[in-house]
Structure 1
Amino acid sequence: MFSSLDLDIQPGEGLGIFQLGASLWAVLDLLRTHHHAFPHVAVQYDADAPTTPVLLHIRPHLDLLFSPAQQRLHTIAVRSLRDPNPPLTLTYKSAVLSSSSKPLRRVDVSRAFGPTYPGRHLQYPGVRFLFEDDANGEKGERTQEVARILVTQADGHDGAGIPDALGEPAVCPAMYGDVAEAIVKVHEGVDLRFYAAESPIVVRVRLGLTTAQDLLTDLGPPLRTFYKEDDRMAIHGRTHPDVLPAPSYFYNYFQYGMDFLIADGTHVVTKIVMHSNIPGTALFQRYKRCPWQIEGRPEDDEDDSPPRVRFEDRVETISHFLAPGEAPPSMHFNRTDEEETLTLRSATTRLLGFDGIILEATEGAQVVGVTLV
């Protein structure tokens, strides 16, 4: 026995609990909390693409398409409207459009949404109703059943088109409070620009200066505080075997895709870690994608747009940007060594060390994380 799935269409904004512009991390977390309503979810992506659109296929009715760079919900597709497993009920402005006993036809759409531009399909700002190519039948066009529904942001031109599937959603309320840019300044720290309803909010975190209290004030409480116990990397920097590293702890801001290592004695930030949330890697979905950019030195004092490399660039490009002509030292790292039952295509990564910064990259040259030290 399947429970009914009731979803409200919000043209240009979303469908049911799914809001356009929401992050992949937030939507997958939402699906976990509603696993009884959405028990079957498949994550699909191109494993060979540095930044890939991600498709969440929620059987049997929904496909959620996320943009390749920002991992934002771009398009919601509704299909198999008459599939009874589970039965689907669609509403618009509190009125039932479609259910297992009420098919949605072309004439029903016109009655609910009004007139629109002529064409094979019915298009309105933020929502589109598609029909099968050979669905005219003997009863005529008015009784065609809707085969699929697409919910997107409204097109900026005529208000009825479909935004570029590989583009990024426009800034909307679902993004407010998320990191829009993380500008990395080697040896200094990171400037965080947040989406906001009016002017963007900027928070600056500086190595050796920003305190734990500053983070609590500017970013709010972390989702987890983790006391550092894994000192496997310390052997590479230890000058005497009896010298132990100073105790420290992490503030884990999974919702921003960032970790801050804080010295236990001074309580200042000593390390900043930013995560790219690459599908197929060991840390996928543990952190929201942090849209980091590494800023280089300006050409002169009047240069107000210094060069940058971004998380979607290949590791070779970023390495050349950080140290032209040099081959950085690297080590292999497998995050699944302690997970015997976990098998991943990108389990082993490389750690590439530069002056003040470490890159973690997959065998496919995607940078999964950046650490400022």
Structure 2
Amino acid sequence: MEFSLIPGHSLGTIELGSLLWNVLSILRAEQATFKHVQICWEAGKPATGYLLLSITSPPTRLLFEGVDQRLLLIEAHQSPSHERNIGNSPSLGEWVHYQNQPISHAVGPNEPGVTLRVIHRLFGPTYPPAPHTSHHNEMVVSYPGVTFSFSHEVLSRIILSVQPTGEECKEDEGESVQLTEAYFKPRMPKYMSSIDGDLKSAKIKLGRVDLEESTSITFSFHSSSPNREIADVKVTIGSSTSEDILCEFGAPLRTFWKEDDRMKIHTHLRSNGRSGGQTEDPNPYFMSYFNIGLDFLIDPITNVVLKAILHSNIPGEVLFARYSRCPWSLRSMDGNLDIALSTDKATHTNQQIRASFAQKEAEDRKPEGLADNGKLCESFSSQAFEGSPDQRASEVPTPAISNMIEPAMLLDRTADVIDDGLVLRRPTRLYGHPGIVLEVTEDDDVETVWLF
């Protein structure tokens, strides 16, 4: 078991700034090395709180930022002494290598282990040690890109954290302050090699039927250098084709036919837009890009994009860790500003969507015979729809007619799994608007966005 230490960059194959999905893919591919992994998150704010990934062997902790789900900090730590004796696992200095040799290789014959003198021998001089912020019996010594913590004068943990460099550094802080704070105040720089080509944003602009305008998504990407910007990509529902997707995003990680047609029961015999809605038409197929949190549904005849699904990758939900987080945002009708973000609560997003459509409504579209009391319909529970259809129609305020969401459908993604011992029960709710459906969790977070 050997993991090369590159200060400010990586430990083994795990690189600072990497997306959670990318790190999990590495761990899945190397299960013989990483045998046991545990993920913890903040239960009170699963969509935005920090995520901690703990690896038993080698003993490592990985801290991810909650909004973008990027790796902020790597901590390799010493196993407890009793675990070393039982499992015969190597010490920290033996499995962490620097410049093609284990750190412990520099230990002298009369030294108890990897001490501060050994680190000075390998890395040279630096500023005096400082107390560890969390482990009060330990002292830390920092170098650019890496921090070493000592317990009873022997190395107990190695910490790598992301930090801005060059012009991004604070000018009013000295180097010693930056080095001391680096290990407990990680900050993502704007440009890193590990983020090159990753999805930066996906801005959604909902279409308008009255203007024959289709829904579109504008994708922006990270670059590793300010001198090499990556052009934006625009995908329009009903217009962009599978060839466009392949050209801009490359080959999908998975392609499969859409075989689940159970939602068709809710279409009320409406045409599917192809060949008069005949049932013998071939099923569309999905192009899945798990690494950027996207699915595209493609028409097999016209090759046009029928639907796009954007995933938020929220911890604790059924789809967690299957997709990377897509950092989507919802644009205003004029396209000038963001009115909702992927980390906003669904209540806010639903309100913004309703308000956007309400602003574009014409007053002459009001149905006759309905009372207008100027109030929006705020509740769509079963109690709000008691009584006959005629009674319900006469009680609904006019401004609510086109803004109203249908009562939320329940979706249980675990219902199709039979007799596998799965005990996770996290049903979601589906809220529909013209051209968009929100899949909402029990915590009122938006897990997926469906655009059509």
TM-score by length of 1: 0.88
- Structure 2: unaligned runs, 5 residues or longer: 131-139, 208-214, 272-276, 356-375, 379-404
- Structure 1: unaligned runs, 5 residues or longer: 136-143, 299-303
Match of 2:194 in 1: 174
1:228 aligns with 2:264: no
Alignment of 1:132-143 (within 5 A): 132=151, 135=152
1:145 aligns with 2:154: yes
User: What SS does the corresponding residue of 1:267 show, helix, strand or coil?
Assistant: coil
Match of 1:119 in 2: 129
Match of 1:335 in 2: 413
Alpha-carbon distance in 2 for matches of 1:97, 1:170? 31
Match of 2:15 among 7, 10, 19: 19
TM-superposed deviation, 1:171: 3.0
Q: Summarize the Cα distance change of 1:365–1:89 in structure 2 as closer, same or farther, 3 Å threshold.
A: same
Q: What amino acid is the match of 1:126?
A: G
Match of 1:320 among 351, 354, 357: 351
Instruction: Say whether the 8 Å CA contact 1:75–1:151 is kept in structure 2.
Output: yes
Alpha-carbon distance in 2 for matches of 1:326, 1:251? 38
Match of 2:24 in 1: 28
Alpha-carbon distance in 1 for matches of 2:445, 2:62? 24
- RCO higher in structure (CA 8 A, sep ≥6): 1
Match of 2:247 among 217, 223, 226: 217
Match of 1:358 in 2: 437
* Higher fraction of strand: 1
Match of 2:116 in 1: 106
Instruction: Say whether the 8 Å CA contact 1:309–1:321 is kept in structure 2.
Output: yes
Alpha-carbon distance in 1 for matches of 2:157, 2:51? 20
User: What SS does the corresponding residue of 1:320 show, helix, strand or coil?
Assistant: helix
User: What SS does the corresponding residue of 2:204 show, helix, strand or coil?
Assistant: strand
Q: What amino acid is the match of 1:51?
A: T
Match of 2:424 among 344, 363, 372: 344
Match of 1:130 among 133, 143, 149: 149
Match of 1:282 among 305, 318, 327: 318
Instruction: Say whether the 8 Å CA contact 2:150–2:157 is kept in structure 1.
Output: yes
Alpha-carbon distance in 1 for matches of 2:292, 2:415? 26
Q: Summarize the Cα distance change of 1:313–1:167 in structure 2 as closer, same or farther, 3 Å threshold.
A: farther
Instruction: Say whether the 8 Å CA contact 1:222–1:251 is kept in structure 2.
Output: yes
TM-superposed deviation, 1:202: 1.1
Residues 41-90 of structure 1, C-alpha deviation per residue, up to 9 Å, x if partnerless?
11111233132211110015100111111111110001116764432421
* Seq. identity, %: 34
Match of 1:244 among 260, 279, 285: 279
Report how many aligned residue pairs link the two structures.
353
Alignment of 1:283-302 (within 5 A): 283-298=319-334
Q: Summarize the Cα distance change of 1:245–1:361 in structure 2 as closer, same or farther, 3 Å threshold.
A: farther
Q: Summarize the Cα distance change of 1:163–1:239 in structure 2 as closer, same or farther, 3 Å threshold.
A: farther
TM-superposed deviation, 1:219: 0.8
Residues 174-215 of structure 1, C-alpha deviation per residue, up to 9 Å, x if partnerless?
111211111111122211111123213311111111111111
* Higher fraction of helix: 2
User: What SS does the corresponding residue of 1:313 show, helix, strand or coil?
Assistant: coil
Instruction: Say whether the 8 Å CA contact 2:78–2:157 is kept in structure 1.
Output: yes
Match of 1:311 among 335, 338, 342: 342
TM-superposed deviation, 1:315: 0.6
State the superposition RMSD in angstroms: 2.3
